[in-house]
Amino acid sequence: MNYNRIIFIIRAMSKLYHRAITYGTFDLFHIGHLKLLNRIASLADEVIVAVSSDEFNALKNKKCTIPFEQRSEIVAALRVVTKVIKEDNWEQKVTDIQNEKCDLFVMGDDWKGKFDFLKSYCEVIYLPRTEGISTTEIKGILKE
């Protein structure tokens, strides 16, 4: 067995969860997005990311700069991401958790308490946001 495989096995054995899921738009991908996904990967063997569709964002009154297909491709290219799925509505979270066999649901702490109803399906964690960066902030700067 080679050294890299041994390190992989040791790291995998030390993670608290097997499969985590998170949701987001991931428009104008930035360091805050990367840090969130890296923190999730430190907790779970696999990371599933549900990227919000353009249609769902429109229902939320969010205008995306980058189209869904490209946002999904960017997220999928990250080595910490195991799989990308499409988020089409608020209600799909329970089904996604069950279908993907997730034991951890993670969101930024700006959503704290909003998804506690999922605790009957898996562990729910809200991680702190990265200070000083947000897509809304970047869009504001670009408008100036």
Q: CB-based burial of residue 23 (10 Å sphere; 0-12 exposed, 13-18 middle, 19+ buried)? A: buried
Q: Which of 35, 62, 83, 86 is catalytic?
A: 62
Are 51 and 77 contacting, i.e. CB atoms less than 8 angstroms apart? no
Contacts of 76 (CB under 8 A, 6+ apart): 83, 84
Q: Is 86 marked active-site?
A: no
Q: Which of 60, 63, 112, 114 is catalytic?
A: 60
Q: Is 60 marked active-site?
A: yes
Give the span between the Cα atoms of 74 and 26, in whole angstroms.
Answer: 9
Which of the residues are catalytic? 60, 62
